[in-house]
Each structure stands twice: as C-alpha cells, then as structure tokens.
C-alpha cells in the first residue's frame, strides 16, 4: 500500500506541475515502390487540477493508513 501511495503522490504532484503531457503516434503509413511515407500526429493530454489534487489526497491517505498497520 505504501508503494501505491507514493506512486499516486508523485503522479499527482507531476500532474499539477506540468498540467499536460504530449506523445506522438503514427497514424498513417504508405509505401509506393521504394518510397515509404509515415504521418505522425502529436497528441496532447490535459490533466485536470482536480485529478492531480485527488491523486495527492488518496496517495497521502494510503501512506497514512499503511503506516499505522506496520
């Protein structure tokens, strides 16, 4: 439980600090003879503030509950 709490705490803090993250995905490939084409789209995902705060609260709760049982 402590590990899950730490992961949620870190994820929540990162979500609040950065607010969004981007990744690249390949959407189309084409091969015409010896020539190959590929189109890559850059996607951005926004992390809501309430999700970051919720992850921090739940992570802290798991750390507190996990610490009492030890």
Can you tell me the distance from the alpha carbon of 23 to that of 42, in angstroms, rounded to the nearest whole number? 6
Give kind and range of the element (H or E) at residue 65. helix 49-69
Can you tell me the distance from the alpha carbon of 9 to that of 63, in angstroms, rounded to the nearest whole number? 9
pLDDT (tens digit per residue) in 13-62: 998 998 888 888 877 788 888 888 888 888 998 989 999 999 999 999 99
The number of beta carbons lying within 10 Å of the beta carbon of residue 4 is 13
Residue pair 6/45 in contact by the 8 Å Cβ criterion: no
Question: For position 30, what pLDDT does the model report?
Answer: 82
Please tell me the pTM assigned to this model. 0.65
Nearest-5° Cα angle at 46, 49 to 11: 60
Question: For position 69, what pLDDT does the model report?
Answer: 57
């Amino acid at each position: 439980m402590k590990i899950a709490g730490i992961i949620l705490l870190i994820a929540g803090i990162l979500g609040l600090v950065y607010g969004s993250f981007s990744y690249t995905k390949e959407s189309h490939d084409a091969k015409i003879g010896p020539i190959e084409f590929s189109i890559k789209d850059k996607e951005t995902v926004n992390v809501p503030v309430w999700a970051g705060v919720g992850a921090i609260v739940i992570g802290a709760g798991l750390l507190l509950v996990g610490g009492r049982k030890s």
